[in-house]
Structure 1
Amino acid sequence: MSASRFALATLAMSLSLSAMGADSHHSGHGHGGSGGEPGEASAVSRTINIDMHDNYFEPESIDVKAGETVRFVVSNKGSLVHEFNVGTPDMHEARQVEMKMLVEHGVIQGGALNHAMMEMDMGGGHSMKQDDPNSVLLEPGDSREVVWKFTGAGDIEFACNVPGHYQAGMYGDVNVN
């Protein structure tokens, strides 16, 4: 096995283990302890537009009701790759480790994503595709939707977990009433 293939296989295993370990303590993307679950488009009560700029979101906080299903229309207005991810602070902390690996392995390249590498078969049906229901990873100028049902109160926020972005203030509060 070549060194680059070994590095990619190691990354895939690390991402899988990180996600599995995160779930065991109510963390990870879109799973237990998240204060929500993937929503059904037919149940959407309203749409919230989220603009991502280089290291901040507009709006910076949102109010939702427990049980409400929201469609987020997320647009990257910045010059760098950004993520919109709904979850708890613990989930974001775990996700930041994964995102760091994506940068280190060249998947995230400043203002671009290496789509070929994201789609690469890592074996066992695994890839580096970013397709979690509570998250979108966007290049500059891109826009996508996230439909999310807020199932209850808790410490919930939306954040960009690309290395350094959360620490620079790229997160916002979700106030569940």
Structure 2
Amino acid sequence: MKPNTLTRRQFQLGFLALPCALATPAVHAHGDAHSKPAAPVVKEQKPWGIAAERSAATRTVTIRMTDDMKLSPNHLQVREGETLRLRAVNQGRVMHEIVLGTAAELQAHAEMMKKHPGMEHDEPYMAHVSPGKTGDIVWTFNRAGDFEFACLIAGHYETGMRGTIRVQPKA
């Protein structure tokens, strides 16, 4: 047999496996929080804080997302060192997301999303939420300062779908 040639049996097995592979739903990194398998949280220090385990959250803040491109509430007050569960509730009929970051980083990411609207990524400071679903971000705000959260889906950020987070220093 020549190298890189398939036997009839190998071809048949590959051909039979194709429908199974096509029928398997794709895993989207930007999928609902409920579809994510339980995995250890990647904890990388960011200027706006660090990811936390679900059990570390001391309070839950529900942020409603609507198709009129609003986030409610659109301003959060947090104490330095506080760990929040940000529960993103998509009350609209289109996909929305919440991404935490600095104003400059969110602006740059929004520009990238316009160029690559199908881009998939999954970071602990993001929740991509299908219509009628919820997603959670559990985050420790361990740095004082002013930060933002926004929906970076192409066109949403530009329409004003964003909010602010003020992390007050420890007393």
Please give the TM-score of this superposition, normalised by the length of structure 1: 0.65
Correspondent of 2:141 among 147, 150, 155: 150
Aligned to 1:112: none
Q: Which stretches of structure 1, 4 residues or longer, exceed 4 Å deviation after superposition?
A: 30-33
1:157 counterpart letter in structure 2: E
1:70 aligns with 2:84: yes
| Mapping of residues 38-53 of structure 1, within 5 Å | 38-53=51-66
- Give, in whole Å, the separation in 2 of the partners of 1:146 and 1:131: 11
The C-alpha deviation readout for 1:118-139, integer Å capped at 9, x for no partner, is xxxxxxxxxx543110001122
SS of 2:107 mapped into structure 1: helix
- Give, in whole Å, the separation in 2 of the partners of 1:94 and 1:60: 20
Q: CA RMSD in A?
A: 1.8
Distance 1:133 1:141, change over 3 A: same
Cα offset, 1:97, TM superposition:
2.8
Distance 1:98 1:142, change over 3 A: farther
Cα offset, 1:46, TM superposition:
0.4
1:83 aligns with 2:74: no
The C-alpha deviation readout for 1:69-113, integer Å capped at 9, x for no partner, is 00111111112211101111111012113322342xxx3xxxxxx
Q: Tell which has more relative contact order, 1 or 2 (C-alpha 8 A, sep 6+).
A: 1
Q: Is the 8 A contact 1:35 1:88 kept in 2?
A: yes
Structure whose CA Rg is larger:
2
Cα offset, 1:32, TM superposition:
5.5
- Give, in whole Å, the separation in 1 of the partners of 2:140 and 2:95: 25
Q: Is the 8 A contact 1:84 1:159 kept in 2?
A: yes
Distance 1:163 1:31, change over 3 A: farther
- Give, in whole Å, the separation in 2 of the partners of 1:64 and 1:163: 28
Please give the TM-score of this superposition, normalised by the length of structure 2: 0.67
Q: Is the 8 A contact 2:44 2:51 kept in 1?
A: no
Aligned to 1:175: 166
Q: Is the 8 A contact 1:47 1:71 kept in 2?
A: yes
SS of 1:161 mapped into structure 2: coil
Distance 1:31 1:157, change over 3 A: farther
Identity %, equivalent residues: 37
